[in-house]
Amino acid sequence: MELRDRWSSRTAFVLAAIGSAIGLGNIWRFPYICYANGGGAFLVAWLVALFTAGIPLMILEFGLGHKMQGSASEAFYKTNKKFEWFGWMAILVGFFIVCYYAVIMSYCFNYAYFSVTEAWGENTAEFFNTTVGLTKGPLTMGGIKGFIFLGLVLSWIFIVLSVWKGAKTVSKVVYATVLIPWFLLIVFVIRGVTLPGAVDGLIFYLKPEFAKLLKPGVWLAAYTQVFFSLSVGFGIMIAYSSFLPKKSDLVNNAFIISMANCGTSFLGGFAIFGALGYYANLLGKPVADVVAAGPGLTFVTYPHIISNLPFWQPLFGVLFFIMLLTLAVDSAFSLLEAVASGVRDKWKVSHRTANLSVGTIALLLGVPLTFGAGYLWLDIVDNFMNKFGISIICMGECILIGWIYGSGRIREYVNSLSEFSVGKWWDFFIRFVVPIVLFFLVLMEILDRIKSSYGGFPRLAEFLGGWLFVILLPILGLILMFIKRKEK
Amino acid sequence: MPLSAILMMIITAVILYGGIIICVRIAIKKNRSSMDDRPT
């Protein structure tokens, strides 16, 4: 009897995986990274990274999840019982990420509301600090911000309802959560590139500096961007592919999903740099002086740009934050689904029990981030989970599957199902290229952290918000492995 | 806008969006019965 969740269609699966991969990083990170690493020349390194690391890793996760018919923990358990803890580690990285991701969604909820009246006024930086109640340092917690907390609760209701019956519900929800932000992104691209001065911004975004391709840092930035934007390393793609029917293409889907994710990032750059060019023109400053990334771009610079648009400012404001919310929600619920499916696979609980219990724990862990210092803690956890958590998981996947389980077994499996095959080049990338690049990424990050603490934060805060979580990953993974599983 | 920037923009767009179109066309052509849009 068929018990496992199944996608309602191939389109639903592809959209769900694209929705998971596309997130806030496509809009607020990629354009800036591109500009800072050689503009158009960076695109060369980025495309090479996509085809030599991103897509091979995506195929690996799809092959593993589909072959083993289980979430990350279950899939690794089925390859070798001793590897289960590693699967839980991947799930835990996603779990820690969703705890703070929901807080960023709460910011978006609040800003969508503020957009109606352009409540941020002229000093958008000051307004953001007041909204999140920013304290002078992470060790000064400050008070809870009621509206951020309310937004967090709303975000979690939104996330949990989206995965209420697992893949069955997600199959319906993704048509809205992927197609709406794509449509809105196109609106913002058209709006951005038709603003006066937009060309200056686009030149900044795309003007190639080919000499930068000789710098290893640019290549590392390209690989980092690809690893962090494809939603590999959290167990999501393993869980999602396990919901595919037995006869399902894996390779072609991996190509479509990875290229759609990167295509969205590339398009996002036009919306962002078009608007930045206009903003620089308005202020009479060079684009370099107004360029921004991350929350600074979204909650400080962009609101100012919205207020200075020629017409329909509140409408564009609301649409911009709805776009961010819909971009974020499918990444968030895919993270929840990756955790919940791990819980369901091991302890055979219902969707409702798994979703509500995981969602409630994540909500409670997110509450401290709604305090004044929450934004600073969020920044630290985000950096460590991205730079160490995902890198270590992806590297471990390549070693465990590429070297111990046998990459050839996964390659033969995916080729037997797919519309076109991958050759032995795939094994080479999985066994050598990806782990070596990731090893250097982790090593460079460790050296950076030895030289100075992240963001200049106190070492104690860096340890509590960063290193502690990294240390907890294998410990919690082992604990979860040793908790007795429930057999059918 | 410099010609080199326009060229890079076009090449990237062709690789990414052209790649998606080719993959989708392959999927349609193969039209695997278990993978079409009928509920499973």
Rounded to 5 degrees, what angle do the CA atoms A321, A322, A327 make? 95
Confidence of residue A488 (pLDDT cuts 50, 70, 90): low
Q: Which residues fall within 8 angstroms of residue A447, CB to CB, at 6 or more apart?
A: none
Nearest to A17 by CA among A73, A59, A77, A75: A59
| DSSP 8-class letter at A485 | P
Residue A222 contacts residue A46 (beta carbons within 8 Å)? yes
8 Å CB contact of B34 and A245: yes
A248 CB neighbours in chain B (<8 A) are 32, 34-35
What pLDDT, on the 0 to 100 scale, is given for residue B31? 62
Q: Answer whether residue A14 shows pLDDT above 80.
A: yes
Angle at A203 between CA A200 and CA A204, to 5 degrees: 90
Query: Least CA distance to A206: which residue of chain B?
Result: B5
* A90 within 8 A of A391, measured Cβ to Cβ: no
Cβ(A229)–Cβ(A25) under 8 Å?
yes
User: Taking all residues of chain A, what is their mean pLDDT, rounded to a whole number?
Assistant: 93
B31 lies within 8 A of chain A by CB: no
Contact yes or no for B38 and A199 at CB 8 A: no
Report helix, strand or coil for A371.
Answer: strand
Counting beta carbons within 10 angstroms of the beta carbon of residue A165, is it exposed (0 to 12), middle (13 to 18) or buried (19 or more)?
middle
B19 at A interface, C-beta within 8 A: yes
Pairwise CB contact (< 8 Å): B35 & A247: yes
pLDDT for residue A350? 92
Tell me: the pLDDT tens digits for A380-435?
999 999 889 999 999 999 999 999 999 999 999 999 999 899 999 999 999 999 99
Cα separation values, A260 from A225, A226, A254, A390, B11, Å = 15, 12, 10, 21, 16
Q: Please tell me if residue B14 touches chain A, with a CB cutoff of 8 Å.
A: no
Q: Give the amino acid at A460.
A: L
3-class SS at A258?
helix
pLDDT for A70-100, tens place per residue? 999 999 999 999 999 999 999 999 999 999 9
Measured CA to CA, the distance from residue A477 to residue A267 in angstroms comes to 38
**Cβ of residue A40 closer than 8 Å to a chain B Cβ:** yes
**Packing angle of the helix pair B3-13, A40-49 (nearest 10 deg):** 20
**Does residue A287 surpass a pLDDT of 50?**
yes
Round to whole Å and give the CA distance between A111 and A276.
Answer: 19
d(CA A399, CA A295) in angstroms, rounded, equals 35
Taking every pair of Cα atoms in chain B, the longest distance, rounded to a whole number of angstroms, is 51
Using the beta-carbon criterion (under 8 Å), do B34 and A39 form an inter-chain contact? no
Q: Do A207 and B19 touch (CB under 8 A)?
A: no
Q: Which residues of B touch A66 (CB under 8 A)?
A: none
DSSP string, A380-408: HHHHHIIIIIIHHHHHHHIIIIIIIIIHH
Strand partners, A371: A144
- Cβ distance of A256 and B13 shorter than 8 Å: no
At a CB cut-off of 8 Å and minimum separation 6, what does A326 contact? A176, A177, A180, A181, A184
pLDDT-derived band at A486 (thresholds 50, 70, 90) equals confident
Whether residues B40 and A40 touch (CB distance < 8 A) is answered with no
A337, A170 contact by CB (below 8 A) = yes
What is the predicted pLDDT for the residue at A1?
44
How far is C-alpha A63 from the geometric centre of its chain's CA atoms?
A: 21
- Residues of chain A found within 8 Å of residue B2, distances taken between Cβ atoms: 203, 207
> CA-based angle A240:A230:A331, to the nearest 5?
60
Distance between CA atoms of residues A105 and A355, nearest Å:
18
Average pLDDT over residues A107-124: 94
Contact at CB, B23 and A252, closer than 8 angstroms: yes
Residue A61 has pLDDT above 90, yes or no: yes
pLDDT at A297: 86
- What is the pLDDT at residue A216? 86
Distance CA B16, CA A37 (A): 20
Half-sphere exposure of A131 (CA within 13 A, CB side): 24
pLDDT tens readout for residues A132-170:
999 999 999 999 999 999 999 999 999 999 999 888 999
Could you tell me the pTM of the whole model? 0.93
Token output for A220: 């590392």
Subunit contact A40:B9, Cβ cutoff 8 A: yes
Q: Which residues in chain A (187-246) have CB-CB distances under 8 A to chain B?
A: 199, 202-203, 206-208, 245-246
Count of alpha carbons within 13 angstroms of residue A317, beta-carbon side: 28
Query: Which residue among B1, B8, B37 places its CB closest to the CB of A199?
Result: B1
Note the pLDDT of residue B32.
53
Residues A286-301, mean pLDDT to the nearest whole number = 86
CB A12 within 8 A of CB A171: yes
Residue A474 near residue A89, CB atoms below 8 Å: yes
Q: Which residue from B2, B24, B30 is facing A207, i.e. has the nearest CB?
A: B2
Residue A311, C-beta contacts closer than 8 angstroms, at least 6 positions apart? none
Ranges A18-22, A211-215, A219-223, most confident: A18-22
Place of tokens 């020629």: A310
